Chain A
C-alpha cells in the first residue's frame, strides 16, 4: 500500500475552495449563454449538491466483504493488499486481455467526476470521484456479436476479507450491465476520490460507478470483466430476486418491498435536516433515459 505523507494530502476545505475557484472561472466562461449570473444558478442547487465529507464517504460504507455493518469496511480493510492487481477482460471478445493497475493508470487519465451516490437503503452522498469512462477500457477489446451484457466480478480473498468467510452473499460479488449501459459515458471506472488514491473501504484499487443506479450495482475491487450473451444473475438478485432486479435504476416510483424509494436522507446533514426527494435516474435522466425507451421500468426494476 502506498503511504501518503501528510503534506501530500490536500485538506478538504482547501480542496473545496480550489474546486469552487476553478468552477467559478469555468462557469463564468461557459455558462454565460445560460445565465448572466452563474452563481445565482449554482446556489439554488447547492444544498443538494454539497460534497459529502471525506470522513463520511470513507467511514460509512456498504461493503459486505469487510463486514455487514457500515463501520466495518473502514475498520477491516486497513491492511487489505491492492498490489499487485490485475484485471482480466474476457468472455465474448476476440482477444481477451489482462491489465495490471500500473498499465491501467498509464493508459487512462483519471479526471474528477462529481456524482451523487444513491443507496438502495434510502440515503445519498455526493462524491468527487476520480476516474474515466468504462467505455475507454472496454474499447481495448473487440466484443463478438454474441456479447449482450457485461459482467463484473469482484475479488475473492476470504483470508483478507473477513466478510467472505460467511455466506452472506454468493461470493465473489457479481454485478452486471447491459452493453449499452456499460458503454455509456457516465459509467465510470473509479480510481480515486477527493483527489486521492481510492481508499480500500471504497473499493480499491479499482471499482465501477454507475451514477443513475443504486449503489450496489457499482461493484468494488474488480478483478474480472466478462462479456456475456445472457443476462447475468448478480449477487443481490441471487440473494433476493423479489427485492433486487437486474436494472436497479434509481426510481422514486418503484418502492423496495421493505421501504419507500420516494425520498432519501442526505448523509452528513444532521438530525434536523429533512429528507429530500429522490429524482428519477438519480437526476441523470437527461443523459440516460433514452437507454430505457419503451421499457416498463416497474417490471424491469
Chain B
C-alpha cells in the first residue's frame, strides 16, 4: 500500500497541468486565454504551497509520519507550477519582450514580490534531494524555512492583484 502512495501523489499533482494543456489545445479558455492560464498556474502554485505546508501539521495531528514523505514531491510541484506561471507571463504574454517586463517588475509590487518568491524557490528546489539534506545537515532546515516567506510573498502578490483590492 505504502509504496503506491508516493507515485499516486505525483500523478495526482500533474492533473492540473494536464487540465490546462487540454484547455489550451481544445480552445476552452474563453476570450482571454492567456489571462486564464496565468491565473490558473498562479492559483495552483498557491494550492501546492498550502499542501506542502500542511504535511508537518498533519503528521502531528495524526501521529503518522508518512505525511512528511510527500512533502518533497509537493514542494517540487510548487516550483513547477510557479515556473509555468512565470513562463506564461514572460513568454506567452510578453513574448520575452524585456522592456515592458522589466518595467513591470520594478513598478508593480505584485509582480516584484511574485518574482522574488520564484527566485527564493530555486535554492529550495536545488537542495530538495536526500543527498542535499544530508550534506547541509542543520542548515537544510534553516534554508527551507524560506518556504514561509515564499508563502507570505505569494499570498500578498495574489491579494494585490485581485481586482477589487481597494475595498
Q: Does B166 contact A (CB under 8 A)?
A: yes
| A255-B107 Cα distance, complex, nearest whole Å | 10
Known: A239-B166, A243-B166. A258 touches B33 (CB 8 A): no
Contact in complex: B37, A258 (CB < 8 Å): no
B137 CB, nearest partner CB in chain A, Å:
43
CB distance from B30 to the nearest CB of A (A): 7
> What size tier do the contact residues of chain B reach?
20 to 34
Q: Is A160 an interface residue (CB 8 A)?
A: no
Give, as a whole number of angstroms, the nearest-CB distance from A55 to chain B: 9
Produce 1/0 per residue, A219-258, CB < 8 A to B: 0000000000000000000011001000000000001001
B100 and A263 contacting across the interface, CB-CB below 8 Å? yes
Known: A260-B100, A260-B104. A268 touches B31 (CB 8 A): yes
Q: Does A68 contact B (CB under 8 A)?
A: yes
A263 and B101 CA atoms in complex are apart in Å by 12
A267 touches B31 (CB 8 A): yes
CA–CA, A156 to B112, complex, Å? 40
B161 and A265 contacting across the interface, CB-CB below 8 Å: no
Name which of B2-10, B43-51, B66-74, B88-96 contacts chain A: B88-96
Residues in B with CB closer than 8 Å to A9 are none
Cβ of A274 within 8 Å of any chain B Cβ, yes or no, is yes
Let me know if A275 and B166 touch, CB within 8 A.
no
A60 at the B interface (CB under 8 A): yes
Chain A residues near B35 (CB-CB < 8 A) = 265
How large, as a class, is the contact surface on chain A?
20 to 34
Q: Are A271 and B164 in contact (CB under 8 A)?
A: no
B118: chain A residues within 8 A (beta carbon): none
Contact across chains for A123 and B160 when beta carbons are under 8 A apart: no
Contact B29 A271 (CB under 8 A): yes
Q: Given the complex, which residues of B lie within 8 Å of A84, measured CB to CB?
A: none
Q: What 0/1 readout, one digit per residue, does chain A (144-177) give for beta carbons within 8 Å of chain B? A: 0000000000000000000000001000000000
Give the complex CA separation of A209 and B34 in angstroms: 27
A240–B167 Cα distance when bound, in Å, is 9
What residues of chain A lie closer than 8 Å to B92, measured between beta carbons?
A: 271
- Kindly list chain A residues whose C-beta atoms are within 8 Å of the C-beta of B164: 68, 168
A270 at interface (Cβ–Cβ under 8 A)? Answer: yes
Choose among A56, A68, A255, A259 the residue that contacts B31 (Cβ–Cβ < 8 A): A56
**Contact status B34-A258, CB under 8 Å:** no
Q: Is the CB of A275 within 8 A of B93?
A: yes
Task: Tell me the bound Cα distance from A168 to B163 in angstroms.
Answer: 11
**B108 CB–A CB distance under 8 Å:** yes
A216 to chain B, nearest CB (A): 13
B94 touches A258 (CB 8 A): no
Q: Knowing that A168-B167, A260-B108, A271-B24 are A-B contacts, what are 19 other residue pairs whose CB atoms are under 8 Å apart, sorted by A's residue number?
A: A56-B31, A68-B163, A123-B31, A123-B32, A243-B166, A255-B107, A258-B108, A258-B161, A260-B100, A260-B104, A262-B100, A265-B32, A265-B34, A265-B35, A267-B31, A270-B33, A271-B29, A271-B33, A271-B92
The 8 closest A-B pairs by CB, nearest first: A271-B33, A240-B166, A60-B31, A267-B31, A56-B31, A274-B95, A260-B100, A268-B31
> 25 A-B contacts, Cβ less than 8 Å apart?
A56-B31, A60-B32, A243-B166, A255-B103, A255-B107, A258-B108, A258-B110, A258-B160, A258-B165, A259-B104, A260-B100, A260-B103, A260-B104, A260-B108, A263-B100, A265-B35, A267-B31, A270-B33, A271-B27, A271-B29, A271-B34, A271-B37, A271-B92, A274-B95, A275-B93
